[in-house]
Amino acid sequence: MKSKTVKESQVLRTEIVHPGDTNPLGTIFGGTVVQWIDKVAAICAMRHTRRNVVTASIDAMDFHSPIKVGYFVILKASVNYTGKTSMEIGVKVESEHPMTGEIKHTASAYLTFVAIDEHGKPTAIPQIIPKTDDEQKRFEMAKKRREHRLNMKKAQEALYKS
């Protein structure tokens, strides 16, 4: 199986915030942003694996600034790390004021996806090749987050057994 670069599977998506996407304050529903994040991350994971994928987890999300009706939402997804059958996809969300062009970082999320075969079982995936300094940094940070997730999973399993 041939390894792939980060660039080969990156996804860039732009949306406009419509009134139906917003709460009474005129800012986008967090759930709408999460839905868009999950979709771009899934596309990125499928581009990387050329397989069906399932979302295994979404790390904690923090919203840094509101996104108002009429603003553009820019979602950028990249593979940060690959294991045997799973991968971490990082998604950065920015808002753009349509009249001024001012861009603000509004949210980030890390999602874990698992590639599945035609029988619904986890299957091997291509490894990621981080080329730039930024990609290498994201790879190393993702490795640490993966270790943390696995430790949390073990702790939760131990708690449920008692």
Q: How many CA atoms lie within 13 A of 53 on its CB side?
A: 29
How far is it, in rounded angstroms, from Cα 75 to Cα 58? Answer: 16
90's CB contacts (< 8 A; 6+ apart) are 77, 78, 80, 108, 109, 110, 138, 142
> CATH: 3.40.640.10, 3.10.129.10, 3.40.50.150, 3.30.465.10. Which one for 4-161?
3.10.129.10
Q: Contact at 8 Å (CB) between 73 and 21?
A: no
Residue type, 134: D
For 63, counting Cβ atoms within 10 Å of its Cβ (0-12 exposed, 13-18 middle, 19+ buried), the class is middle
The confidence score (pLDDT) of residue 35 equals 97
Q: Contact at 8 Å (CB) between 64 and 94?
A: no
Q: Where are the domains of the chain?
A: 4-161
- Two tokens at 95? 């808002």
The confidence score (pLDDT) of residue 45 equals 98
The confidence score (pLDDT) of residue 118 equals 96
How far is it, in rounded angstroms, from Cα 149 to Cα 162? Answer: 20
pTM of the model: 0.92
How far is it, in rounded angstroms, from Cα 92 to Cα 78? Answer: 9
Q: Contact at 8 Å (CB) between 147 and 141?
A: no
The confidence score (pLDDT) of residue 162 equals 73
The confidence score (pLDDT) of residue 62 equals 86
Low-confidence ranges of the chain (pLDDT < 70): none
